[in-house]
Structure 1
Amino acid sequence: MFFENVLKDIPNELAKEVFKAKSDLEKNFNDSQVKRNFIEITWKLYRYLLENIDESYEVEKRLFLRYGLLEPRYLNSRDFERIKSIPFVDDKENIFYVDEWMLAVKKGLINESSFMEVIESRKNVAPKNVSSFEMAFNEKLEERKLIEKQLKEIVNSIEDEGKPYRKSILSLIDQAIEKLKKLKLVNREVDIIFEQLNKLKEESKINKKTEDNFGKKIREHEVIIQMINKSIGRLGNRFLVLTSIFLNGITVIGSKDLVEKKINEFEKIDYKIFERKIRGTTIKLKPYFIIVPGYGDYGFCWEPFEGLNVISGRGRVVIPMFSKNIDVAILSALGDYRLKAAKELTFGRWMEEGLTGEIYNYLMNNKIRDRIDEFFVKRYILWILKESNGVQKLEKEIREIFWRYIEFPEEIKAKLSNISYIYSNLYEKDKRRKKNWENL
């Protein structure tokens, strides 16, 4: 019944093609021509269902789009239970399965992605972009409230004893002064974010969309197809349908919960990866993560920002669901996002400035012909998985570049400085740079 519901209400000719291709494959799985035909027909089915998705879709259709699940019999009991254990509804603010993403775009909650990776200027402000700024604003308000509370506690501890203040009281006054400075600074950040938030809300009203895009022709399904193909690679396995034959060796499935957990884990190491500057104020704005089916091994960044909107536009980062190494898949995506975001923010001067300029010059000076993105992503993975634990895997110059531009949190840097002279030397340079900056 599952397979029949996937085919329900689709064009009769397409349904016949899928049924025949499936029947032929089950009779002779090892026939390469039969397998090629099955692959092409199931991609045709996938494209049709993706393009025509709506909220009335049967669960079976959604599961086919989400996992590639066409026939539960293709899974052994262990793999079936693994899929079954993943919640069908699991709302995450910035992580989507393919079917959820398509519905969000059709409803107008999220703008369409750049097609064919060509950046297009967008004028519409999607509701999700406004909500992400509201989150950043609320986080900054909570930070201000915490400082206010700490300040009150300090002031309440200062008692008039009818004589000159003791050293302990003077120390409290110094603490209060520092807290007041911090409070003033955070309030300025609140003001900047509040202004930007109101601006986004006004733009959203001016460009108010109709309730949804279900009646409008969109091309997001073409973007999703490209995303899946790119995650698989030119020489990868294009067999889209979920089967235990190809799940062998895949220890974990890239569910939303797992992807979120891993991203949070890696963000603790590369703690500035999602930071964005707005008039000198730093806010955290995570991109959208789209989990795609298929047997791809590497994630990537489709676009670091939404078109040319580097202030409030959120990028698209693609994570393959059934990769052999989920850590490498996610770090590939984060590394690609890191590089592309840095490149975009140089506004055309990426070969000269910042992180991208340093990496580019290193490649040129050492006559290395690797593509900059492939070179960078490989080393980014080593930086997060190895170097953060004191295992030296990078070239000396690359380590120094990463130390400055993809810096570890203070506690990791301090720990590394006690492991090796190499890290200790970098840590001391850090301290001197900060001291020189403070003395300016």
Structure 2
Amino acid sequence: MSDELDPEISALLGGSNAASDNDAVDDLIEDVETLEDEPEEVGGDFGNLFGAPPAAKKASPVPSSGRRTIHDVDLSKTEFAPLEKLVNDTPSDVYNDPKYYKTCLTGENNMAQRVHQLLTKYLTTTDPKDRSVFRQQIITAFWELLRGMVGKMSNMSTPLPKRMLVRYGIILPSLFKPENKEFFSKMIFENTTGEPVLYADEWFKEIASGRMTNSATDEAKKPRAPENSEAASKEEKARLQQLKSKNSGRLQSAENILNIKENERKTLENELMRDIKQLCTHAALYGMEPHTAELNEEQRKLFPVIGDLLRRLSRNDKEFVKAFAEYKEAKGTYESVASKVQAAGGDEEESNDTEAVKLEFETYRQMAKMTVGRRGNQFPLFTREFFHCTENGTGMRENVIEVLRWIESLDPGVFVRMHKNVGNRIVPYVLLAPTYGDRGFCWEPFDRYNRVTSRGRIVVPMYPRDLRIAVLTAVADLRWQVAKEKASYYWMEEGLTGQYYQHVEQMKLKGDLKEFFIEDYILWMTKESTGVQRLDKDVRGIFWRNMPFPKELKEDLRKRSLVYDELCKKDLNREMSDGY
């Protein structure tokens, strides 16, 4: 690789074609030496640069009433809305800015100079051993540079190059291939999808503003007395927001159950009115007017039907009264907490919680490492040397949503969480990490303070070899953790995890149980869904019962093989029994 880079060092480092390699390096050093002398540039016009309408330039810090944000779980949605487009029609010119590199490093901590020096050496050296050393040093230096940069993502005046560095790892546009540069220039900047799929800069912005809580960690926070009244007020706001989030889940769940009972009542009433209308309609007796005929046989059969409808309506009414009381109580509690949050200033203009960002940065660093693995490529910067994705295989927001749509089309219950025998579809937060990893994972299945309607958190690498596999590993991990938390202490005995655990024990397999499940889930989604049998018979049965395909796909599969036909027959037997 060093032999290929050497003739192009001048271009890679942003120098002119006529300049020598040394001149190009000298120019970069001069740029960084003057960084501290120049004022930090004001952020660009996001809307004009990335094809968004002018109204989308600056998001309102507090959503207006009735308008949902990505943090509000809409339980009425049953699938991902179709995307109008995956990329913009016209490219932005952010990567054509000759001062892009300088802007990235302007006004940052002392690691900016260190990153510049190491990057210069890394790109100019011809010794493979030296390149390996500089590469490892860049990794450490870059993360220290990023530590001071992520806190600025909530500031709307932060220059676009800095955002692109945090979002995509792009520090030097000349490290693009021409076709890659055009593709990245067409990526949609704003989140117009309404889905909780976030880039790293957006993730830190939401954390800083307080709209998202910090990701869960195993390390317990040491309680300490607030240093002053401002710190005490801040802690109280955080406590109230936590309480508000918990009660929000309870309110949403209660409202969902109430809507179900209301719809059930409406259906029963319509059936009852239809049957009564039919019962009360009598044929005329010709020649004996105004008398009408007696009830016919069909009408007499309606008596037990109407009686059954009345009993069901009575039972529904009792359930409705209970559901309404729970909803009323939940609504009152939520409004009480919301008023306290408002009084404490919790819904004021956007804040910038630097402590929360610092804490989240340490978690984010671990997340990025986990997508790559111990033996993977930890290099944090975008370079054509390591980027080998196709346009559809790059982990940008729109591509990831399309993969999630495909997964949900085969596994309709993948994002459904049961509560009081009611299924709530809750899409998790998805963090897109700019790494060269191949595996996504689930960081937490749901918020520990709101297990009913809170979103979980999964992480997906942006530059994997196979984007579908990267997203599938994250979703499989989510599937496993949600099922395990649902079964609680009995996870080795009940439900999906219990059945799978008993199968692994029976087969006497050694290794990580969850990894076995993830690999089998990938086969289930990529092979078994197409009729190609790759799973063990017992595993296929477990997945067929606990993570069933849509009925249309089941009918198609049963025509292809007797194996699936037998599973469909077992489904029919279970439907006819009480235990289904």
Residue 111 of structure 2, aligned match among 5, 9, 14: 14
CA distance in 2, matches of 1:49, 1:413: 50
Q: Equivalent of 1:40, from 140, 151, 156? A: 140
Structure 2's unaligned 5+ residue stretches are 1-98, 223-237, 284-294
Residue in structure 1 matched with residue 185 of structure 2 by the alignment:
84
Is 1:346 equivalent to 2:487 in the alignment?
A: yes
Structure 1, unpaired ranges of 5+: none
Partner of 2:438 in structure 1?
A: 297
Question: Could you tell me whether the CA contact under 8 Å between 1:137 and 1:193 is conserved in 2?
Answer: yes
Superposition map of 1:279-298 within 5 A = 279-298=420-439
Deviations 1:139-184 (Å, cap 9, x if unpaired)?
985996799599869968967753257969989x979x88996995
Which of 282, 301, 304 in structure 2 is aligned with 1:162? 282
- Secondary structure (helix, strand or coil) at the match of 2:418 reads strand
Distance 1:371 1:131, change over 3 A: closer
- Describe the superposition over 1:108-135 as per-residue Cα deviations: whole angstroms up to 9, x where unpaired: 1111110258799x96056699499759
Q: CA deviation at 1:102?
A: 1.0
Q: Does 1:95 align with 2:197?
A: yes
Deviation at 1:52, TM superposition (A): 4.8
For the residues of structure 1 that align with 2:251 and 2:466, how far apart are their CA atoms?
33
> Is 1:264 aligned with 2:401?
no
Given that 1:304 and 1:316 are in contact with CA atoms closer than 8 Å, whether structure 2 keeps it comes out as yes
3-state SS of 2:443 partner: strand
Cα gap change, 1:402 to 1:294, in 2 (>3 Å): same
Asked if 1:232 is matched to 2:330, the reply is no
- Structure 2 counterpart of 1:217, from 339, 355, 358: 355
Q: Which residue of 2 aligns with 1:367?
A: 508
Contact kept? 2:198, 2:429, Cα under 8 Å: yes
SS at match of 2:375: coil
1: distance between equivalents of 2:394 and 2:371?
15
Q: Which has the larger radius of gyration?
A: 2
With 218-227 and 156-165 compared, the bigger mean Cα shift is at 156-165
Q: Secondary structure at the residue paired with 1:81?
A: helix
Structure 1 match to 2:386: 246
2:213 maps to which residue?
A: 111
Check conservation: 2:154, 2:206, Cα contact below 8 A. Answer: no
Quickly say closer, same or farther: Cα 1:204–1:357, change in 2 above 3 A: farther
Whole-angstrom distance in 2 between the partners of 1:242 and 1:169: 77
State the secondary structure of the residue aligned to 1:244. coil
Q: Which residue of 2 aligns with 1:3?
A: 101
Q: Number of paired residues?
A: 436
Distance 1:436 1:147 in 2: 27
2:568 aligned residue = 427
- 1:207-237 per-position Cα deviation (integer Å, ceiling 9, x unaligned): 6673455145111111111111100111111
Q: Distance in 1 between matches of 2:530 and 2:269?
A: 37
- Out of 160-169 and 231-240, give the one that drifted further: 160-169
Q: Give the TM-score, by structure 2 length.
A: 0.66
User: How far has the Cα of 1:408 moved from its partner?
Assistant: 1.5
Which residue of 1 is the match for residue 161 of structure 2? Answer: 60
| Deviating more after overlay: 207-216 vs 56-65 | 207-216
Amino acid aligned to 1:37: Q
Task: Using the aligned pairs only, state the percent identity.
Answer: 27
Report the RMSD for the aligned CA atoms in angstroms: 3.7
Aligned partner of 1:69 in structure 2 is 170
The structural deviation recorded for 1:136 is: 10
Establish whether residue 50 from structure 1 lines up as the match of residue 150 from structure 2: yes
How far apart, CA to CA, are the structure 1 residues paired with 2:258 and 2:398? Answer: 26
C-alpha deviation, 1:47, in angstroms: 2.6
Structure 2 distance, partners of 1:389, 1:179, is 46
**Segment of structure 1 superposing worse, 413-422 or 290-299:** 413-422
Alignment correspondent of 2:41: none
Shift of 1:73: 0.7
1:350-398 CA-to-partner distances (Å, cap 9, x unmatched) read 2222111122222222211120111000000111111112111101111
Segment drifting more, 185-194 vs 74-83: 185-194
